[in-house]
Amino acid sequence: MSNPHGMLFVATNVAPEDEADFNQWYDHEHVEERVAIEGFLSGTRYRAVAAARRYLGLYETASQETFTSAAYHAAFTRQTEWSVANLNRMIDPMRRVCAVTHRHGRGQGAHLAMLTLPAGPDGAALQAWQQHLQQVPGYISSCLLTPDVSLSTPLPRETHAHRPMQSMLLLHCADETACIALADRAAQAFHADAERYALSWQLTRQEISYE
């Protein structure tokens, strides 16, 4: 694919005393602000089931060029006080801007398995493995995220010292049982660490136009 979609990946923890306001901000300001930017297609929130960071946000874009656009950079010049406060509440955040490749299947499920790959996977081997998933009950879709080093600038409280840019395999599943099974299979196949999340909610670009 010559011009793959882009994906902004943001995972973080937040202190218990800040969670209520953090989620209000995310759900009622931040996601809509980002999805309203030209080139953004959707913003999706997940909560950890078995993962190091409690919250995960995935923002899909028409291409990685969206993250170099004037509209995207303008968003950082007009951040609200609420945004600044909550960005600084993030604990051990991780921000990656990625290319989305090796898509297989269609749609998203209620559960997500995310595997951090120790090395870039062999494309043919990954595609062959994905083909076998088609018959697995509960499997919905999968894709590969490959971070762009230059675009993956850190969040305010993200460490600058050690930021490995490893590819991530996403597996969308219909239920938790399927997610556990597929995460285990993928972890063995790719010698990777697996984390699991449950879908919280999603906003699409199309929905913003519903007035």
pLDDT tens digits for 10-69? Answer: 999 999 999 999 999 999 999 999 999 999 999 999 999 999 999 999 999 999 999 999
What is the fold of 6-208? Alpha-Beta Plaits (3.30.70)
Three-state SS across the chain?
CCCCCEEEEEEEEECHHHHHHHHHHHHHHHHHHHHCCCCEEEEEEEEEEECCCCEEEEEEECCHHHHHCHHHHHHHHCCCHHHHHHHCCEEEEEEEEEEEEEEEECCCCCEEEEEECCCCCCHHHHHHHHHHHCCCCCEEEEEEEEECCCCCCCCCCCCCCCCCCCCEEEEEECCHHHHHHHHHHHHHHHCCEEEEEEEEEEEEHHHHCCC
Domain edges within the chain? 6-208
Residue 210: band (very low, low, confident or very high) from pLDDT cuts 50, 70, 90: low
pLDDT in tens, 98-152: 999 999 999 999 999 999 998 777 889 999 999 999 889 999 999 999 999 999 9
pTM for the full model?
0.95
179 pLDDT higher than 50: yes
pLDDT in tens, 55-109: 999 999 999 999 999 999 999 888 999 999 999 999 999 999 999 999 999 999 9
User: What is the model's pLDDT at position 2?
Assistant: 62
